Structure 1
Amino acid sequence: MEDGNASIEKLPQSPILHDEEALAIRTVAFPGEHDEVHEEKIHHGHLRPRGVEMKREMTKEDKELAAAGYEHLEELKLKGKKGDTTELDKVDIVEHRLSFHELGKALDANIDTKDPGISYGLTSEDAKARLARDGPNVLTPPKKKSALRKYFDCLMTMFNILLIIAGVLEYILLGVDFKDSFANTYLGGILIAVAFLNAFIEFYQLQKSEAILASFLAMIPPSCRVVRDATLTSIPASDLVKGDVVLVRVGDKTPADLILFASTDLKVDNSSLTGESEPQERFPKPNGSEVRPVEAENLIFNSTLVINGEGWGVVVRTGDNTLIGQIAALTGGESGNESPLRKKSAIS
């Protein structure tokens, strides 16, 4: 028994994890016994001892909770997985190619790349002037029509009108010569039914497109952390302007398109935009990046989820000018889509 007790005492006392995925993974770094305790100045002028540092990685449940508003984007995810990046290639974003010096000059932004916490940011007056010039950081909602009006517009296309006219003519011939035209009794009904079915298919596709646009609006976060007048504060995301210095942390949705100038183990979920299933690491590039915007490692996009680390960025695009805003405009502008039946009829 003594040997048994000794072996028990050697076992480390640690909690039993029944469900590892349900627990957040934390890493705590304590200063060494002989290490110096460093201090750093923050913008309020006080000294802060640098002691315990914590890094938290999101669990699966946290990701699902924070990803609310992404339900209608499965179509875009599938397109991205299949390599269909036509819409992403059409976006107009070039700020990721600029160096830190060029970026600060172009946006007239006050940023400190060595210690982002002491960045002055914009003044309140400057931010108000830019907000009045560029407008709020929101996506323009699509123009809405009643469901009956949209279905009627789908029905009143040239192909459907020809089908309906052909069906009506069949019944007119039936009235002129009932005996000889009796074999065409069902043909007129079939032609008219095909016209209404074809209109319903187009109407359904239109409804799905509008559902995607509506989901874009739900993805915008309500508030964000921004540096104004050398003070880190929380403001509505709709009040963000170009040149604002923004802090994003794990669990946040990015409030606008940001160019990073400082980060710590930052990873974002771009699956809603590009279809990439794995988290993407993002970090500053002092000399800019020459790749496409969706592949730029120094650029994080409006509405993407931060799943690890934190980062400081400067706002380069807001509202309809962001990547998601441009995709929404391209999606809403697809008015020339034809149903499969109309395409086959045009070919024949």
Structure 2
Amino acid sequence: MIRLIRWLLLPVSFLYAGMMWLRNRMYDLNLLKSTYFKFPVVVIGNLAVGGTGKSPMTEYVLRIVLPLSNVGVLSRGYGRKTKGFREVSVTDVADESGDEPLQIKRKFPETTVVVCENRVKGIQQLLTRCAAILLDDAYQHRALKPSFSILLFDYRSLLTARFPLPTGSFRDGLQESNRANCIVVTKCPEDLDLAMKSKLTEKLRAFSQADIFFAKIAYDNVINPAGKAFPKTSLPNTCVLLVTGIANPQPLTEYLLPKVKELRQISYNDHHDFSAKDLDYIGKEWTKISDDKKIIITTEKDMQRFPSSFSARYPIYFIPIQPQILFGEAPIFENIVRKAFRVSEM
């Protein structure tokens, strides 16, 4: 039914695409103002709505540059109930700062992480505190002109027809990739071959001359909020209730399915705010699993939105992930990132 409604809205999609094209051309012609800063402002973004792995890529970039430079992170803070500029604290809850900024702050506690809907104003408040700024979702925020842009594409999105919102998931057309300095095709299969790499590179080359890389998801150990790992050897004998509130849970589902005894799944929309009713439902579904060996698994981002009271009551775990650049090209990518932040390896 939802798919039918989306197709019925195809005329709206064409209207939306036309409006976005006009908006972009107005920025290109300087009819709308973009603010540029004289220090590194690096943007990570995508052309589609969610699901490309911006947060893991943000963390990857931070691991590369933090030992070499004082980099601050600026995010809009999707899902938060606060407004305006706010500095994120490790003691925040997701309602205050958003799940993704909170995840980053907890993993990099010494890093300045702030949220602000107006990215230009957010950067202005960080000018004297940071040597560079990393924005985790601002490719479409053209009121800001970054010094460097990393554009992400979900692998599967390049294999199918790309329709604009609301029929499809694309906010901009592929031609907007010409603004990117670097492109990463994320969530690639482990067995991606050179022929497919060449095919997708050729498709993107029609719109952009940026450096193009391919990355898969690297999954870490299953751990609980206290940092204790669930034994890998026990997973094949364990029933798992997978609870997600992300744009695309399919890769995680496919990863877990062959590794556990039984997999049941509850999926919510991206950045879903788990209500008391949701938590009660999740608890009841966990109780319905008759096997004594059972756990709940969620994503690291979703974990930020589960209250500690739920974690104390149920055996809930999450799986940290990070992108892994394929074809031995990680050193090239990492060197490009260092140059973007104007730092060199010590």
What TM-score bracket applies, with the shorter chain setting the length?
under 0.3
**Larger radius of gyration, structure 1 or 2?**
1
> Which structure has the highest helix share of the two?
1
* TM-score where L is the length of structure 2: 0.21
* TM-score where L is the length of structure 1: 0.21
